[in-house]
Each structure stands twice: as structure tokens, then as C-alpha cells.
Structure 1
Amino acid sequence: MSHLALSFMCLWLRRIRWLGAATVALGLNGVVGAQPATQPPAPVVVAPAEERLLAPVTFFPGTVISRDDARLAAEVEGRLEWVADIGTSVKRGQSVARLDDVLMRQALAENEAVVVREQARVTLYTQEVERLQPLVERKIVTPSNLDQAISNRRVAESELAVARARVMQANERLDRTNLRAPFDGVVTERFVQAGEWAGSGTAIVRLVDSQSLEVQIRVPAETLAFIKKGSELKLMASPQESTGKVRTIVPVGDDRSRLYELRLTLKGQRWPAGQSVRVQVPTAAPRKVVVVPRDALVLRRDGTSVFRIVDDDIAERVTVTTGIAAGAFIEVSNGISAGDQVVTRGGERLRPGQKVVVLPTSSQP
């Protein structure tokens, strides 16, 4: 073997030994790096699981409406002289529209004149009866003359009563040229304008009482067994919540939708008329369930779980099945019992078996 070949072989052997040593060193470093560091206790906030009486619920759409919502119509025909503007607030008895009353006043004057005429006739026939009575007693005139005078007086009295009734009618028609509010409210619509002709029964304005409000909802027949007059139901109109008391249940369902109407009295919250709300309606009888705060749920791809604190402040992950929700609480089953301490804050970063430090309820981990 030549000297050059021997030198090349020695160099090649040294490189192989160097690569082997480097590989071993890297392997050892990898093993050392894979050793986990000791995790410190995680700060968490806990709350006890509770047993409560809950019923499954479903949300149904509802609408805030006014108990007094009317289309006010003209009661006599005529040309409109004035109509209240939209948004005008009126009290009961105040005018919302006025019709031309010239013809009504003329008709009233005519009927009052007829009353005067008929009153004069009654007076004339009364005097004639008084004059004929002594003459009949002295047999100067025949009784038939007296009977005729009495009959004429009675006819005149009836005509006077008719004339007076016509005066009352004319006064009433004159008064009805002024359209008045039947309740306190706000004018929300005008259907005709000043200067237009309005016939009897023509809708003039829409008047809504914005203070006397309630919620109208329609529910299927299956829910009626779990609702009664006076029941309190939760109302939601994001982000606000309130409670409504069932004022009445209409016992007749709609022919098309087969739904039954409920009316709820609002308690506390003042939503405007027309506001859409969601109403929480029970769909089954209440039952005892174990509930935890909604914040205790940990949602991950492999399912929903809750971290329970066991002995020595160790976090134990428990997979649960959720059920009925009520406010800030939700039903859980499969592994959680009433009295268990569950993590409500800090559970997102926990690992099963990790030690924890329980903070006061008001603290944020």
C-alpha cells in the first residue's frame, strides 16, 4: 500500500469516530431536554356543584305591545280642518282631529227653531182646551170640539218631543266633529290629512298608549300544561333581561299555526312597544338535577369536561354531559355530584393531575 493511500485511510477513520461521538452527544442532550420541569400549582377559583329543581325550557319569540292601541275613526262625515301630528302626546278627552262643523251648526239651528214652533203649538192647543172645557159644561159647544182640541194638543206634544230629540242628535253630531282620544297615548300614524274628506268610519289616526305595555307570544299546545295564570317567565332582549307574569292565556288556538296566545305583564324593564323579545317557556315538569356554573365548563374537541378538585388540591378532569340551562347554571351528569368543588376560573390552562391553589371567589387567576 502506498504512503498516500495509508494517509487517506487514517483520515477517514478519524472522521467516522468524530461523527459517532457527536451522534451520541446529541442523543444524550435530547434525553435530558425531554425531562419535564416540575409545574408550579395553578391558581384557580372554585364553586360547589348544587342540586336544584329545574325544568327544560325553550325560547319562543314575542313582541312588546300596547294594551291600548286603536285606529280612531270619524263618526260623522266632513272635511278635515286639523289632524294632530305624528308623535303628539295627548290625554284622554283631548282632540286629535277636527272636522268642518258649519253644516252641523246650521242643522242644529234649524232643529232648535222647530222646537220653538212645536212649543208654540202645544201652548196654543193647551189654551184652546182650557177655553172649551167650561163651554162644554154649559153645553154651549159639543164635547167633540173639546176632544178634537185635546187630540191636537197631544199631537203637538209628540211633535215637540221629536223636535227636541232632533236637537239632541244635532248637538251630538256637532260634538263628534271633534275627534277625541279615548285614552292617554301618542299619535303614531295619520291616515288622512287636513283638507281631505272623511266619511263616517274613515280611520283618521292611530293612537297608542306607550305606558300600558305587555308581551304577546304564541306557544304550542304541549307547553300549556306547564304554564298557568300568574306564572313568571324570563324575558330576554339582548343585552337586557327581565321577568314577565302571565296575565292571561287565550284558550283558543289559531286555525293555521295551531299556536295559543299568551299575554305577559312586564315587571321592572321598560321596553318600547314593538320591541322583539325571547320568552323562556317550560316544556316539561321540573326535576331535581345537579348544576354547576356555566364558567366551569371546558369545551374541547374531544368533548365537554369539568375540573373537580380532589384530595391534596389535585385537579381531576371529568367528562360531563350538559342538560337544562337556567341563568348562570347548567345541568351536568356523569361523574359530578352535589357538593363537588369545580373550577370556574383558570380551568382552561389546567392539566389532569396538576396541583392547584384555590383563590377567593372574587379573585381572577
Structure 2
Amino acid sequence: MKTFARFALPALLSLSTLAVAQEEPKGPPPALVEIDDVITEMVSERIWVPGTVMSRTDSNIASEVGGRIEWMADVGDLVKKGQVLAKLDDELLQLQLDQNAADIAKWESRVDLLERKQGRVSKMAKLNNSSRDELDEIISELEIARQEVQQAKLNKRQTEYRLAQTQVKAPFDAMVVERIQTPGEYTSTGSDLLRVVDTENVEASIRAPLSASPFIARGQEVIVKDRYSEKTESVRTIVPVGNSNSRMMEIRVALKPGDFPIGSAVRVALPHSDSHEATTVMRDALVLRQSGTFVFIIDDENKAHQVPVRTGIGMGERVEVIGDVRSDDNVVVRGAERLRAGQTVRFQETTEIARN
């Protein structure tokens, strides 16, 4: 009896170990993945075209009068509309203004004299003490004197206008980006003094093929990007006119101030086909193999199912897929390379995955 008990205990332990081993789950352990939604959206073919960022108002400011430059705004100065950009020497115009005032006084005095003379001659003519011709001559001289007064006043207004133009003012809110002349130099009428640029009203000028014109409309949103950033902006205007050589048209896309430097190069994604409804996934969801392309869909039991797909139109980070994929599915976007069909998965927040 004792001998049986001695051998029975190891036998029981072996049976227990075997039972536990049979209850352990088979297959690989749950994989750590990140998932994303499958969505249905409108897509269309796109072409990337180059463009240049520019201000809607980029002007060379000239003077309407000549003179020596006494002062000028510096490069980099921000000026408001009506603020002085440059001042010219106005001494000669001040002297001319004094001359105009003297001319007005002279002719007004002449008018006053002739009016009094006309009154006396008119009384004498009624008494037949003077001829009618003498009265007509005085009336004519009086009319000429009155016209000279008007001419003198007009000359004074012209001088005042030219005097005001010795202070060259900003036509709009802008930044001074270039001094074409410098203080101390003499400028003539119409000569450029400064270059100013409106840094608040910015847009991209794009040359696009005329074949894209049927698919582009004003206000349509497009993607604009450079090496460092990517923005969604709207088309401001379209000029669907090309030439026989380039077959290109111009498109202007409104930009937000500060998003892209003025003068920099950008690329713009323009639609190049009619839009249609499509099922899209993140590009990272695609698993490329020699046998084809597929995605992993996660079911309600957190198991991965491999679904073959064909790709269609790409839209930025998303791409159209054609296959047994629905808009309410979840697809794996990280960790799909190591997954196996039917493998259980577990989820972790994106920030935690990035940290690990």
C-alpha cells in the first residue's frame, strides 16, 4: 500500500501538468496595433502644379514732383495707408505759392479799380458826358481782370497740390522692402523712390494645364504645400485663357498671412477629373506583398482578417481602396507588417506607441 502511494503522487502530478498544458491557448500572442476608420468620401484625380507666393499689391512708389529727397522710410518699416514714406525739399514750391497769392491780390485790386471806374463812367454815360465805346472798353477790361483772378486762384491750387505731393504717402498698408533712391539724391517727376508690399493680402499664382479647367471652380478648396508645411486653401480666381505654346492658364489661390513667405515656391494639388464617392483608408493601412495588396480589418472579437484590395485615387494621406471593405470597418494602420490572419490584437494609444 505504501509503495502504491509513493508512485501514485508523481503520476497525478504528470496528469495535472498535461491538463494545464492542454488548456493553454495556441498561436501567437495578441499583437499591439493602432487602428483607423474606413470612411466614404468624394475623391477625384489630382495633379500637382508649381506656384509662387506673391502679394496682391506690390508697388514701386514714385513722386509726382521733382526735388531733393530730405527723408525716406527705411527698409522693413511697416506703414499705414496715408503715412508719409518720403519727404522732398519744398522751398521752391513755397516761394511759388507766395507768388500765386501775390498774383491773386494784384488782380483782385485791378477788379476793384475797374468796378469803381465802371460805376463812374456809367453815370457819365447817362448824362451823355462819355461815349458808349469807353464804357464797353472798361467792361471788357473788368471781365479780363476777373478771369485773371480765377486763373491766379487756379494756379495757387495747383501749387498747393504739388506742395502736398512733396510728402509721398503710402497708398495702402504695407512694408517697405526696397529703397530705390536714398535721401540726398534728386528725384524727378515719375521716378521710383521705394518699393512697398502688402504683406496681409497674399496669394499663390499657379500655372495649370487648361485640361484642368472643367474641374476647378472659385472657392474650391485645394492643398498648398512647401518643404515645411501643408495648408488647405481656397481658389480665389481662375483665368481660363492660355496660348498655343504652353496651353497653360493662371489660377490664384488665396493664402493666409504668414503661412508661406512671399516669393517662395509652393506646390498645389488641383483636381483633374470628375469626383466620385469612394471608400478610403490611410496609406499606412496598405500592406504590399508580391502576391498583392491587402489590409487587415479588425472584427468585434479583436481578430485580424486579411482582405485583398485594389488601390484607386490617392488624396493626400488617404487612398481609395476597392475590395470587401465597408465604411464602418476598422483597419490596422500600425503593426500590420507582423500580423497574421486570425491573430488577436490589442490596442494602445498613439502617443504611447510613439513613446515606445
Instruction: State the Cα distance separating 1:84 from its structure 2 match.
Output: 1.2
Counterparts in 2 of 1:91 and 1:309: CA distance versus 1, 3 Å: closer
Contact 1:42/1:354 (<8 A) preserved: no
Kindly indicate whether the alpha-carbon contact (under 8 Å) linking 1:243 and 1:266 is maintained by their aligned counterparts in 2: no
1:116 aligned onto 2:105:
yes
3-state secondary structure, aligned to 2:236 = strand
Offset from partner CA, 1:76-122 (integer Å, 9 cap, x none): 11221222110111111111111221222222222222222111111
Q: Which moved more, 1:311-320 or 1:208-217?
A: 311-320
Partner Cα distance (1:104, 1:336) in 2? 82
The aligned residue for residue 51 of structure 1 is: 40
Q: 2:170 is matched by which residue type in structure 1?
A: A
Question: Does the Cα contact within 8 Å between 1:245 and 1:267 map onto a contact in 2?
Answer: no
Q: Quick check: 2:52–2:206 contact (8 Å CA) kept in 1?
A: yes
- Measured in 2, the distance between the counterparts of 1:86 and 1:361 equals 50
CA RMSD of aligned residues (A): 2.7
Say if 2:285 is the partner of 1:326.
Answer: no
**Contact conserved, 1:85 with 1:190, CA < 8 A, in 2?**
yes
Partner Cα separation in structure 2 for residue 122 and residue 252 of structure 1? 64
Distance 1:44 1:94 in 2: 61
> What amino acid sits opposite 1:246 in the alignment?
V
- Where structure 1 has 5 or more consecutive residues not aligned to the other structure, the ranges are 1-36
Which digits, 9 at most, give the CA deviation of each residue in 1:163-206, with x for residues without a partner?
Answer: 11111111111111111111111100011111222111111101
Larger mean Cα displacement after TM superposition, 183-192 or 106-115? 106-115
Paired residue type of 1:232: E
Per the TM alignment, residue 229 of structure 1 is displaced from its structure 2 partner at its CA by 1.9
CA distance in 2, matches of 1:43, 1:264: 43
State the 1:44 CA deviation. 2.8
Q: 1:65 aligns with which of 54, 59, 80?
A: 54
Could you say which residue in structure 1 is the equivalent of 2:118? 129
Secondary structure of the equivalent of 2:156? helix
Calculate percent identity across the aligned residue pairs.
Answer: 38
8 Å Cα contact 2:207/2:248 also seen in 1: yes
Aligned to 1:222: 211
Partner of 1:159: 148
Task: Name which of 86, 91, 94 aligns with 2:83.
Answer: 94
Give the Å deviation of 1:260: 2.1
1:231 to 198, 220, 235: 220
1:281 and 1:199, CA in 2 relative to 1: closer, same or farther beyond 3 A? Answer: same
Structure of larger gyration radius: 1
Task: Provide closer, same or farther for how the CA distance between residues 199 and 258 of structure 1 changes in structure 2, counting only shifts above 3 A.
Answer: farther
Q: 2:177 aligns with which of 168, 185, 188?
A: 188
Unaligned runs of 5+ in 2: 1-25
C-alpha separation between the residues in 1 aligned to 2:256 and 2:180? 34
TM-score, normalization by structure 1: 0.80
2:69/2:89 contact within 8 Å kept:
yes
| Alignment partner, residue 175 of structure 1 | 164
Q: Is the 8 A contact 2:213 2:240 kept in 1?
A: no
The Cα shift of 1:300 comes to 4.8
Q: Take 1:267 and 1:111, find their aligned partners in 2: how far apart are those partners?
A: 51
Note closer, same or farther for the CA distance 1:311–1:158 as it changes in structure 2 (3 Å cut): closer
CA shift at 1:249, angstroms? 1.9
Separation in 2, partners of 1:310, 1:95: 70
1:350 and 2:335 aligned: no
Match of 1:240 in 2: 229
Q: TM-score, normalised by structure 2?
A: 0.82
2:286 and 2:231 mapped to 1: Cα distance?
26
State the match for 2:271 in structure 1. 282
